[in-house]
A and B are shown apart, each in its own frame.
Chain A
Amino acid sequence: MSSESRPGYLLPAAIIAGLFLAGLLAPVLATERPLVAVIGGRLVLPAFAGLPLVGPLFDADRARGIDWTSPPAEARVVLRAPVPFSDRGVRLDESLRPPDRRHPFGTDALGRDLLARCVHGARVSLLVGFGAGALALLVGCALGAIAGLRGGGVDLAIVRLTDVLSCFPAFILALAFVAAWGRPGLPPLVAGIVLSRWTGSARLVRGETLKRRGGDLWVAARATGAAGPRLFLRHLLPLLAAPLSVVAVFGVAQAIILESGLSFAGLGVEPPTPSWGAILAEALPGSGAAWWPIAFPAASLFIVLGALCVAAERLESAWRSSAAR
């Protein structure tokens, strides 16, 4: 299979990494607080104070409490943030402005800058997507390995559970779980996604474990004294790395889809925290008047999901062609 006829890894990986980084750094990239400012002759870095963990290092007493949309005389802005708006800065007088130089993505019905909201939305969408996707993979691998190695009643119970769970449409299962939780928020969101998404990797791992049991490699590993978790982690998991990586990348895409759907239904993160799905939900009532609040978050979703899909496809064809060789 010639590599040039197929999309490569590099572009999708760069897109995902770039957006992930943008999401992580959202408090610095999109905020009305300047990157660098001078207050009373002293240099401060107000935007960095919004970062998690390291934020307090940059927190300056004198920078606190300043309204940067109209800074007082003693404060001088040296360098603005790349997107000089916060995701929550409501400006009713700037409601539904179409895209222009000031607001490249336009503003929403409350006058909030949509680029800032999309950047902050990437934070939630990608963190939840990658976090829940990884957690689902972990749970699936663990349960699949337990089923495959233990066999007997444990195996039967896990197989039956995956059978039953995969009868529910993933979105409905996640929706029911989050609704039953009662309150919106991160924990039910992630738990709901994991609940409806772990079965795929569990099936794969269980099937492969059963297939390799009793093979030469297996017997040899057993002969060296490997057993239980070590047998699985050291001698089986590396063999499954290629198919599992495909499952993992698709899993992240599915988790992002579920997160955006749940947020769109109003059961994701709590407003006003933006996620791409939540921004789309807020845009729906005004969709007859403005296209930009729908077009840009939707495009962000499509780009990330498309990049993940291309990456997964590329991984899969690489794995298949190496397996065929």
Chain B
Amino acid sequence: MTAFLIRRALSALPTLFGISVIAFLILGLLPSDPLLSWSPGAAAPSAEAMARARDALGPEPGPVARYADWGLGVLRGDLGRSRRDGRPVAEVIGEALPFTLVLNLCAVMAIYGLALPFGLLGAVRPASMTDRLGRWTLLALYTVPSFAAALVLQQIFAIRLRLLPLHGVSGPETLAGLAALADRLRHLVLPAACLALSGWAYVARYARAAFREALGQGFLAAARARGLSRRRALLHLAANTAVPLLTLLNAVIPGLAGGSVLVEQIFSWPGVGRLYLAAIEGRDTPVLLGLTLLSGTLVLAAQVAVDLLYAVAEPRLRATLIETPADVV
């Protein structure tokens, strides 16, 4: 088991290297002139001063040298410094990351918490009114862009109905204890719901299909024959069927991470998504590079984690997972 875990984790290393190369190819090769980004806001230095500074700095290193320089820094945990305020990029990202992680974790929980019962309900009573209505809803939600959903839901629930806060992470500072917690949760509802919409539709569709297939295989009748109540038999069935649905996370997580960028912007959520847009606007390449690398790395880490979880939950599959290379899994 341990050997499998280690092998799966190691097999991600080449991909990780590839992620850093692609991120650097896209962003690191920007025609960046360090002299022009020297002191933002100050008066432009004279041509003579620029030439002198250029002589002092020496020739610009080539792309490979720059990549090596940056990559070695990343390995040491040094992502460079932000061009905006000169703080270490790792520190800037570190401040924003917890907000994004909380938001996405809530979205993942909402996706599975709602999709599994929904799928089961549809599978138990196929072609019923709820099932048919549900299938139409899912189809409609499947391709809803999260940012457009965010604008519409914000308009309905925050601006018109005033049920939920418009944006931000928390209300007034005076709240304490349970009230503060409830306030924070209320701020989470809308952004998490917008992010979760299309993932929910995706997982629920698969859940319904998987449950229907399992129901057709006679497990339910067997469990009932052994004296289990229908409810308990269904729960057993659901638990077993739900495990493979974990792998759908591989497709859900990149969507969530991409969607967070605009959803965070709309709800003024101080996470890495908003930081990303701010970095684009400020042409803050070190931060952009760090965040792009981080997004790829987190998605890869999530993929590995899903594989590992799956292997733990489903011992039968361990053998096949070991034999097939990572890109097929």
Contact = CB atoms under 8 A, between A and B. Distances in A.
Interface string B1-45: 000000000000011001101110011011000000000000000
Interface string A43-58: 0000000000000000
B277 interface: yes
A166 interface: yes
Interface residues of B, number: 53
A168 B292 contact: yes
A180 interface: yes
A86 B157 CA distance: 33
Nearest to A6: B135
A298 B150 CA distance: 10
Contacts of A294: 151-152, 155
A167 B296 contact: yes
B262 interface: yes
A5 B26 contact: no
A287 B157 CA distance: 13
Given A176-B292, A287-B151, A294-B151, A167 B15 contact: yes
A287 B155 contact: yes
Interface in B126-155: 127, 132, 136, 139-140, 142-145, 147-148, 151-152, 154-155
B299 interface: yes
A7 B139 contact: yes
A30 interface: no
B259 interface: yes
Interface residues on A, range: 35 or more
A302 B148 contact: yes
A176 B26 contact: yes
Most buried by B among A7, A159, A169, A288: A169
Contacts of A253: 143
Interface in B303-329: 303, 326-327
A16 to B, nearest CB: 13
A298 B142 CA distance: 15
Chain A contact residues: helix, strand, loop or mixed: helix
Given A172-B292, A176-B27, A176-B292, A265 B152 contact: no
A91 interface: no
B241 interface: no
A257 interface: yes
A160 interface: yes
A265 B22 contact: no
A107 interface: no
Interface string B165-190: 01000000000000000000000000
Interface of B: 14-15, 18-19, 21-23, 26-27, 29-30, 127, 132, 136, 139-140, 142-145, 147-148, 151-152, 154-155, 159-160, 166, 254-259, 261-262, 265-266, 276-277, 280, 288, 291-292, 295-297, 299-300, 303, 326-327
Given A261-B147, A294-B155, 8 more contacts: A7-B139, A160-B14, A168-B295, A260-B145, A260-B147, A287-B155, A291-B159, A310-B139
30 contacts: A7-B136, A160-B14, A160-B18, A164-B15, A164-B19, A165-B22, A167-B299, A168-B295, A169-B254, A169-B295, A169-B299, A171-B258, A171-B259, A173-B26, A175-B261, A176-B23, A261-B145, A264-B147, A265-B265, A280-B147, A284-B266, A288-B166, A291-B159, A295-B155, A298-B152, A301-B148, A302-B140, A306-B143, A309-B139, A309-B140
